[in-house]
Amino acid sequence: MRGTRRESTVPSSVVAHLIDGQQRLSQSGKTFASVEPATGETIAEVALGEAGDVDAAATAAARAYHDGRWYHLAPAERAARLRRVADLITDQTEQIALTESRDSGAPIGKTRGDVAAAAAAFTYFAQLPEHVAGRTYATDPGYLLYSRREPYGVVGAIAPWNFPFLLAAWKAAPALAVGNSVVLKMAEQTPLSTALLGSICAEAGIPDGVLNIVHGDGATGAALVRHPLVDKITFTGSTPVGRSILRESAEQIKSVHLELGGKSPSIVFADADLDQAVDGSLFTSFFNSGQVCTSSSRILVQAGIADEFRRAFVARAEQLVVGDPLDEATQLGPLVSKAQQDRVGGYLRAGRDAGAEVLTGGADPDPQRAGFFVTPTVFTSVDETMSIAREEIFGPVATIMTFDDEDEAVRLANDTEYGLAATVWTTELARAIRVSERLQAGIIWTNCPNHGQWNVPYEGHKLSGLGEDKGLECINTFTHLKTHHVNFGGHRYNWA
């Protein structure tokens, strides 16, 4: 077993906010506990941000934006500092990964991968400063019409707990790249690795006040959304919270970008490579203990191969290693919190009570076991009206339903209020294209669930989101348009 040095990652004092380049405790002096999901024990006390702390961070960010200490740097210089962030992240991979495994419960192999992906995010988005561009427009003689894209100013970024360090980078890197200042608020369940990102950005030369980090809970996030100096909100999290953010932002007509929940289908046709489909569906159902918004845990299997698929899927699910996230052999760690464990346990009971058949797992979490573990669970005999088939569970729970033909597969797949992602398993190219064009989702995978690259945009449809992530397209997410009309031909206004 490697990476079990728990004491080496425990902060020696209260984890503070980063505001205007300074480590600051909350104005109230309040703190909250960061709890290790694998043990249920407190591993750190963290400053609890309230409205006054959010105001200090937003004021610092606005000042840093308007005095041009970051936005007015040459694009090549901004790019160089972002690449330096990437290098420092890579240098500190093990410390960040260990911290995150303890704080989130994710297996150490997964958190190492997330740290590498976060470094890659800063490397990729470092090119954005030199890709921000406008246009010129056809017009009458003697006039010049052109547009340019400008940063919003202050971006309030609210990131979730399932990929803490990675999503902090995912939010901050593109917003910074195009010249914004950022106030970042991480979920209260997983604040520790984000604090390390703040220190890294300072060391890399991101000026004071350009990146600020305020720790706290939902009230902290609400204060950030409401703050009048925050010009843009980017949020990843649940659809109910996304709705709340839209309502709060409406008063100020504030621009909002949302990446929300999902209930993504994995559609397995009879001509699919069965081993590939089983392995891929298992991965997308149970990776990170099912705590993934794009998780395709709603598995739809063509009737002719359903029995064979179920047997193979259950056999492999039962081989998954559930245990200590710092053990290199672990594939599934605990859920992030006791509240999340209780929530998933409620869905297990709801599935059994509704008459779904449990093929493996399905028991309520063991109250005598330390940590917030849930055994991987597979339900069949599932009706599409059941809550386990309709609602985002965010735990290691998969449902298997059957269909007869393409039309029924598409109907079942689209029978959800979400539209984040979908996976199609088939060896027939024409079918893959036909079905993908009918699916109501922003991301379609054929035989490759959860595949992604930083240069490819990412967007949810329906209740799964609003606006574009990743790729050059995210320039439009973090900038807005200004048009210029220039009269250089001496034209004068004539009232006649």
Any domain includes 206:
yes
Q: Are residues 198 and 312 in the same domain?
A: no
**Within a domain: residue 192?**
yes
The answer as to whether 496 is a domain residue is no
Domain count, the chain: 2
Q: What is the CATH number of the domain that holds 156?
A: 3.40.605.10
| Contact present, 328 and 1 (Cβ < 8 Å) | yes
pLDDT band at 2 (very low <50, low <70, confident <90, very high): very low
In this structure, the answer to whether residues 270 and 245 fall within a common structural domain is no
Looking at the fold, whether 418 and 300 belong to one and the same domain comes out as: yes
Catalytic site residue from 259, 392, 459, 468:
259
CATH number for position 354? 3.40.309.10
Tell me how far apart the alpha carbons of residues 87 and 60 are, in angstroms, rounded to a whole number.
Answer: 26
Please determine, for residue 11, whether its predicted confidence score (pLDDT) is greater than 80. Answer: no
Residue 249 lies in a domain: yes
**In this structure, are strands 31-36 and 265-268 parallel, antiparallel, or unpaired?**
unpaired
Q: State the residue range of the domain holding 130.
A: 6-260+464-482
Same domain? For 416 and 366 the reply is yes
The pLDDT of residue 39: 97
Per-chain mean pLDDT for the chain: 96
Answer whether residue 71 is part of any domain.
yes
d(CA 392, CA 411): 19
Say whether pTM exceeds 0.75.
Answer: yes
Bridging pattern class, strands 255-259 and 465-466: antiparallel
Is residue 93 domain-shared with residue 106, that is, in the same domain?
yes
The pLDDT tens digits for 295-315 are 999 999 999 999 999 999 999
317 with 436, same domain: the answer is yes
Q: Is residue 489 part of a domain?
A: no
Per residue in 480-490, pLDDT tens? 999 999 999 99
How do residues 166-199 score in pLDDT, each as one tens digit? 999 999 999 999 999 999 999 999 999 999 999 9
- My answer on whether 277 and 252 are in the same domain is no
State whether 188 and 305 are in the same domain: no
pLDDT class of 7 with cuts at 50, 70, 90: low
Stretch 336-356: mean pLDDT, rounded? 97
Instruction: For residue 50, indicate whether it is catalytic.
Output: no
In Å, what is the CA distance from 172 to each residue of 126, 292, 457? 12, 20, 16
Rounded-to-integer distance, Cα 425 and Cα 175, Å = 36
Question: Both 432 and 473 in a single domain?
Answer: no
**Tens-digit pLDDT profile for residues 78-132:** 999 999 999 999 999 999 999 999 999 999 999 999 999 999 999 999 999 999 9
φ, ψ at 24 (rounded to 5°): -130, 140
Does residue 491 lie within any of the structural domains? Answer: no
* 293 and 252 in a common domain: no
**Looking at the structure, do residues 176 and 232 belong to the same domain, yes or no?**
yes
Looking at the structure, tell me whether residues 375 and 473 fall in a common domain: no
Q: Are 155 and 213 in contact (CB under 8 A)?
A: no
